[in-house]
Amino acid sequence: MTLPSARRELVATARQLNASGLGADRSTSGRSTSGNLSARVKGGFLITPTGVPYEAMKARDLVELDSDGAPRPGQLLPSSEWRFHRDILKARGEIGAIVHTHSPKATSLACTGRGIPAFHYMIAVAGGADIRCAPYHTFGSQELSDAAVEALKGRLACLLANHGVIALGTDLNGALSLAGEVEDLAAKYCAALALGDIRILDGLEMERVIDKFRTYGKQHAVDDGLEFGGGAPPDPAAPGPPAHPAPER
């Protein structure tokens, strides 16, 4: 992706974050200033600037930092959380984008210092058998960055105690989608906690689910149960396979 296209996509995703309701905080003007987003680009990453509402943000306002976190001269100040964006991207070469939110339910849960256990199989969407909660450290600090990197080992999302959520993706769309999944799971977990004892899925079942998620949602052509890799192509006039309902989410 070129730098101009990355800038446009980052602005569009920030506005989608607002529209989704995940950007919960509001400035005194009523405009959202919550959270921050970044995208990997050649030589470093782009990040949202500090204090600029997403509704007013332009592509030129995004801040370009090198892989060590040094900004190019003449730009706005980057988000105060640039350190954990830098360190996560350094530690996770497969990650292309980061979305950090203060979404209501997940942040409320994080304010109790709890992560989200395997109360529902969809926890596996975050890459493991639970969603960890990193211990509290002052926003923007190196200590917070170190704690976030640790909580994200083997995971695609974590909570930050008394703070919010970090969601990772190969691209911005994936990171934003995962942030929404984490908020939904947090809401369900909070509701379940209010009802009483919660059944937690065991490690063996979560291993099965995680393995199934490796191909979850990926489409491929089939012919009598075999992938098309050779031989005659399917007859386009032939009836297709019966429709199957999507798995419960």
């190196």: which residue's tokens? 142
Q: Are 151 and 89 in contact (CB under 8 A)?
A: no
**What is the set of active-site residues?**
81
Give me the DSSP letters along 123-134.
GGGGTSS-B-EE
Q: How many CB atoms lie within 10 A of CB 189?
A: 22
Burial of 203 per CB tally in 10 Å (0-12, 13-18, 19+): exposed
Please list, in sequence order, all residues whose beta carbon lies within 8 angstroms of the beta carbon of residue 105, skipping any fewer than 6 positions away. 183, 186, 187, 190
Residues 210 and 124: beta-carbon distance below 8 Å: yes
